[in-house]
Amino acid sequence: MANVIRDPKTHPDAILPDLSKPDPLVKFTKDDIAFVYGSKWKQRYFTRKGDDYFPLGAQWDITHQVWRPYKVPPNTDWWVRFYPDDNMQRPTGPLCDGCHSVNYNIQTKTVTEWNVGCEKCHGPGSAHVRKPSQANIVNPARLDTIQATDVCIQCHSQGQPPNNPISGKYYDWPVGFQVGMDLKNYWKLEEHKLGEQTFTHFADGTAHKNRMQGNDFVQSAMYTHGISCNSCHDVHGTENDALLLKPANVMCLECHGPNSPNGPHAATVEAHTHHKTGTAGNECVSCHMPKIEQTIADVNVRSHTFRFVPPSETDSLKVPNACNVCHADKSTKWAGEALKTWSNMSPWRVAN
């Protein structure tokens, strides 16, 4: 089970910052907190009011160890225009809880389990508990590529139900979906017009913000060729970053070794990357999955299109490129000229 949500009354260590230290942004106490969300990039706090939960007005930036305000501003997420500009009138039931629980019931506002529990990815499990069998449980590894990926896309994507509003409310998660069903009947991905930069997308269609791995991935050659999320990740937990099955470069090079038909078409990884082994520039993810999607402040997470963005597209489309993400002190012109000296890089791809 992923501990996305924790109750500080049963898990006193769940609250990461020291609430005894005053901060002008923090206008709540420990006793006000019913749930905390998150423990890696940011932590948010929710209070109970009536039969629902509501976000409190400050969030903890874990990377920088500072408080930041928390309220979704106008002209951002699609649902903002349907809710008052007040956290205490933006309940988590329609806006969050379907992805942070198992079997959220929109009529009773009850759940089978808070957190991303087993049934979120494996479907109903009572019959399997009584008599374990492959026939009475969903194993995403045995689903086809589309359905297997939809297990993750149901929450790791930006979109909305196609039949919103539902019972008079606008929901930001696929109400009624269970794994094994056809997700497109419950969820439509955020639309994007190429050439336009929006709150959710860069102009080339790459995601602009966190929790959009699914929006990215369905555009990728990996998805087209039958790769699914569980080809690289194990959500049950690993010792590797991002729950990867193996360290990133090891994972990538199992299919993309030197002179592989899948690429890179070079004798060695160094010949492909033009960076020494052991350096960040020699890591596959540095160029094909740069950290350009915002999760909080200047903390970004990796894109999942696997597409190399040349510096020229930063100039023309304002899409961050991997070269200048690392070489932040250099210009796009510098990066483009450097790429033109690489014999394995098409001049047509990097031309200004």
- 309-348 confidence digits (pLDDT tens): 999 999 999 999 999 999 999 999 999 999 999 988 777 7
166 with 187: CB under 8 angstroms?
Answer: no
Determine what percent of the chain is predicted with pLDDT higher than 70: 99
Closest among 210, 174, 229 to 292, alpha carbons compared: 210
Average pLDDT over residues 128-155: 96
Average pLDDT over residues 52-70: 98
- 265-290 confidence digits (pLDDT tens): 899 999 999 999 999 999 999 999 99
Closest among 102, 126, 75 to 4, alpha carbons compared: 102
pLDDT at 1 over 60: no
**Confidence at residue 347, expressed as pLDDT on a 0 to 100 scale:** 77
The residue that leads in pLDDT, 263 or 72, is 72
Q: How far apart are CA 57 and CA 335, in angstroms?
A: 41
**Confidence at residue 242, expressed as pLDDT on a 0 to 100 scale:** 96
**Confidence at residue 351, expressed as pLDDT on a 0 to 100 scale:** 62
Average pLDDT over residues 133-157: 97
pTM of structure: 0.95
**Confidence at residue 200, expressed as pLDDT on a 0 to 100 scale:** 97
**Confidence at residue 2, expressed as pLDDT on a 0 to 100 scale:** 66
- 197-218 confidence digits (pLDDT tens): 999 999 999 999 999 999 999 9
Average pLDDT over residues 303-314: 95
Angle at Cα 111 formed by Cα 174 and Cα 34, nearest 5°?
105
- 93-137 confidence digits (pLDDT tens): 999 999 999 999 999 999 999 999 999 999 999 999 999 999 999
Q: How far apart are CA 33 and CA 15, in angstroms?
A: 9
Q: How far apart are CA 259 and CA 182, in angstroms?
A: 38
**Confidence at residue 344, expressed as pLDDT on a 0 to 100 scale:** 82
pLDDT at 3 over 90: no
Average pLDDT over residues 144-157: 97
Return the bridge partners of 166, or none: 169
- 344 contact partners, CB below 8 Å, separation of at least 6: 264, 265, 266, 271, 272
**Confidence at residue 138, expressed as pLDDT on a 0 to 100 scale:** 97
- 31 contact partners, CB below 8 Å, separation of at least 6: none
**Confidence at residue 346, expressed as pLDDT on a 0 to 100 scale:** 79
- 243-260 confidence digits (pLDDT tens): 999 999 999 999 999 988
**Confidence at residue 352, expressed as pLDDT on a 0 to 100 scale:** 55
Band of pLDDT at residue 43, cut at 50, 70 and 90: very high
CA atoms within 13 A on the CB side of 67: 17
- Going through 209-276 in order, the beta strands assigned E by DSSP cover none
